[in-house]
Amino acid sequence: MGGGETQVRSIETYKGRHVMERKCPDVDSLKEKARQFRKEILEMITEAGSGHPGGSLSAVEILISLYFCKMQHKPENPAWPVRDRFIMSKGHASPALYVTLANCGYFPKEELRTFRKLGSRLQGHVHIGVPGVELSTGSLAQGLSVANGIALGAKLRKVSFRVYCLLGDGEIQEGQVWEAAMMAPHHRLDNICAILDYNGVQENGPVAAIKGVEPVADKWRSFGWHVVEVDGHNFEEILAALDEFETVKGKPTFVVARTIKGKGVSFMEGQAAWHGKAPSREQLGKALLELGFKA
Ligand SMILES: Cc1ncc(C[n+]2csc(CCOP(=O)(O)OP(=O)(O)O)c2C)c(N)n1
């Protein structure tokens, strides 16, 4: 790693696809990116007057690690056939994905201000009409099934791209997730990595109180997944887990990323009340001060 920006140095052929030599920014630069992303997420939700800050703020480091360090993708050509795919199964956390895609260059950052406005491409839940988005999501629990299908298709066509899928811990209470959890190991889909944003809080309260998912790592392991547990706000740990995924053969990988809902803003952290509510202008100001931005 080195330098402040992702560097794409060359293109070479690797196992049937063109692979870019991607240089990850150093960890300090990644942390600064996370701080900026949190600001942009909060600003766009405030501007819209509605949206989901809690589960967007918890996913920031995961998305940065994928899009700025690990995934092979071309913002100037979102349909590049051999790109790695990302499926945001928890589609209500669209601000986190939209900010990530805009900062990669998929569309102009000014467009973030149109979030949830009539006529905007950036609707409240992740939508396929946005450059870089692979699947419309928002109706929870469907993403991993589609990700499996894409990964199986890649295997059948002998194309070596990877598929990543982000799930919420409330989301995995749904039955369809467990059908998908059975399918990927059955087909030995070692080209798929599911990541759990394990922030412990769903829409109406703590996951453990509503329908607990523990022991979550053992459950996925028993279904046949290679499981890695990380601090989902620690870039070194996330990147090491994603490196590990690339070495595992014959089975899919499941990363349990322990996160904090509303991460970075004290009055939002761990609070179900901030699952789907926009801050006022005053609350935005307080949040930005906490993130180290001047008023
Ligand atoms: C099928 C379906 N049922 C219910 C909802 C309403 N809903 C939106 S977000 C949410 C809670 C999700 O919790 P979690 O997966 O933990 O998300 P996070 O905390 O990461 O935001 C619910 C129930 C939905 N979007 N889709």
Q: Which atom of ligand 1 is nearest to the CA of 172?
A: 15
> Is pLDDT at 1 greater than 60 in this prediction?
no
Radius of gyration of the CA atoms of the chain, in A: 18
Q: Exposed, middle or buried: residue 219 (CB in 10 Å: 0-12, 13-18, 19+)? A: middle
Distance separating alpha carbons of residues 245 and 254, to the nearest angstrom: 8
Angle at 30 between CA 273 and CA 292, to 5 degrees: 55
In this structure, of 18-22, 101-105, 132-136, 211-215, the range with the lowest mean pLDDT score is 18-22
Pocket test for ligand 1, best of 139, 197, 202, 258 (most atoms within 8 A of CB): 202
The residue assigned the tokens 């996951």 is 207
288 compared with 19, residue with greater pLDDT: 288
> Is pLDDT at 247 greater than 80 in this prediction?
yes
Average pLDDT, the chain: 95
142-146: which pairs have CB atoms within 8 A and are 24 or more residues apart? 142/89, 142/176, 143/87, 143/88, 143/89, 143/90, 143/91, 143/167, 144/87, 144/89, 144/176, 144/177, 144/180, 144/181, 144/184, 144/194, 145/176, 145/179, 145/180, 145/183, 146/87
Distance 42 CA to ligand 1 centre (A): 19
The band of 2, judged by pLDDT with boundaries at 50, 70 and 90, is very low
User: What pLDDT shows up at residue 160?
Assistant: 92
In terms of Cα–Cα distance, which of 263, 273, 274 is closest to 60? Answer: 263
First vs last C-alpha separation in the chain:
33
Distance separating alpha carbons of residues 190 and 188, to the nearest angstrom: 6
Mean pLDDT of 224-242: 98
The residues lining ligand 1, judged by C-beta closer than 6 Å to any ligand atom, are 54-55, 58, 90, 92-93, 138-141, 168-171, 197, 199, 201-203, 261, 275
The amino acid at residue 231 is D
Distance 140 CA to ligand 1 centre (A): 6
Mean pLDDT of 7-19: 61
- Residue 144 tokens, joined: 């991993």
> Is pLDDT at 44 greater than 80 in this prediction?
yes
17 compared with 117, residue with greater pLDDT: 117
> Is pLDDT at 164 greater than 80 in this prediction?
yes
